[in-house]
Amino acid sequence: MARGTYEEAAALQALIQSNLRLLYPSQKTEVVTYDGEGNNVYACVVCIRSDGEPDILVQGNPGDNHAYALLNSALEQVYYKTMQLLGEKFKKTNAQ
């Protein structure tokens, strides 16, 4: 992994992890980043279940029957998705 790609992966990982702590404070998660095709940095969120087994969380929509997290997102896409999620979270918090 080139230095620039490494820095991008570290930034991506920190961004996702900090937002996961905000959005899902009781859920134990790890963020895995990797260098994909075309110098893209990808990430997936791994949830640790109560039995200790890992689950890779997939992207979905609120209300779907599966977990809502990020999978295979480039840094810019993750940024915009995070801002969207934070906006929705703050709207819900302020409405209560």
Q: What ranges do the domains of the chain cover?
A: 3-95
- How far apart, in Å, are the Cα atoms of 75 and each of 29, 34, 57, 79, 85? 19, 12, 17, 6, 15
With cut-offs at 50, 70 and 90, classify the pLDDT of residue 12: confident
Q: Please tell me the distance from the alpha carbon of residue 46 to that of residue 18, in angstroms, as a whole number.
A: 14
Question: How does pLDDT run across 43-91, given as a tens digit for each residue?
Answer: 777 777 778 777 776 554 445 554 444 444 444 565 566 667 666 655 5
Count CB neighbours of 92 within 10 A. Answer: 10
pLDDT at 32: 74
